[in-house]
Amino acid sequence: MHDDEPSLNIPSLLTLAVVSYFVLRWFFNRDEGSSGGRPRGRGNVVDPAQVEQIAQMFPQLSTRDIMWDLQRNGGSVAATTERILAGRGLETPPPSFQPQVVMPRGHAPVPATSTATPSKADGQDLISRYNLSARIIAENEESQSPASTSAWAQNKEERQRLLQKRRDEMILAARRKMMEKGKGPAQ
């Protein structure tokens, strides 16, 4: 370095250092800020327990995609689950994404043995179980009810009603068929 060189003196070097420090700081803060204010201040670290939890719920997803989403939403399992269930899917992380986590693979979940309770099954038929005797009487007088359609409603009560309708019709249709078969020549 030559002291007589006018373009490279100490003050200008200092200025350059200070400016580049602020530019770099702004640059890295922007990356950090776009992930929505993570509570944990450390860069790419993802909690392996959270990743495991989601991977076990949705085994079809790649752990890399899960880690990317978790990292971006600040490690919220609920938000990632919500996103998957809403059908939006997960984004594919950029190739530069290097998750800092070692997945412990193949550790078995807690085994739970169910012991059979020694009670006898109740000897109740499906007609009395679902209170269908009134329906059978009504059906004999009226024409046959139309075939059920698969359906889904936004409303909880409506869904309940549709499920019950499908269930009742499945039993009644089986009963009708069985009765016709019973009337036939060969049983």
Partner 1 sequence: MAQSVAQKRLFHEYKNLSTNPPEGITAGPVSEDDMFYWEALIEGPGGTPFEGGVFAAELKFPKDYPLSPPTMKFVGGGVWHPNVYPNGTVCISILHPPGDDPNHYEHASERWSPIQSVEKILISVMSMLAEPNDESPANVEAAKMWRERRSEYEQKVRDEVRKGLGL
Contact residues for partner 1, defined by CB under 8 A: 53, 56-57, 59, 77, 81, 85, 108-114, 116-129, 132-133, 136, 150-152, 156, 159-160, 162-163, 166-167, 170-171, 174-175, 177-179, 181-182
Class of residue 178 by CB neighbours under 10 A (exposed 0-12, middle 13-18, buried 19+): exposed
Judged by CB, which is closer to partner 1: 97, or 136? 136
Report the residue number, 30 or 156, with the smaller CB distance to partner 1: 156
- What letter represents residue 89's amino acid? G
Cα diameter, the chain:
118
Contact 103, 48 (CB under 8 A): yes
Reference 40, options 65, 75, 81; nearest CA is 75
To partner 1, the closest distance from the beta carbon of 34 in angstroms equals 27
CB of 30 to partner 1, least distance (A): 33
What is the smallest separation between the CB atom of 75 and partner 1, expressed in angstroms? Answer: 15
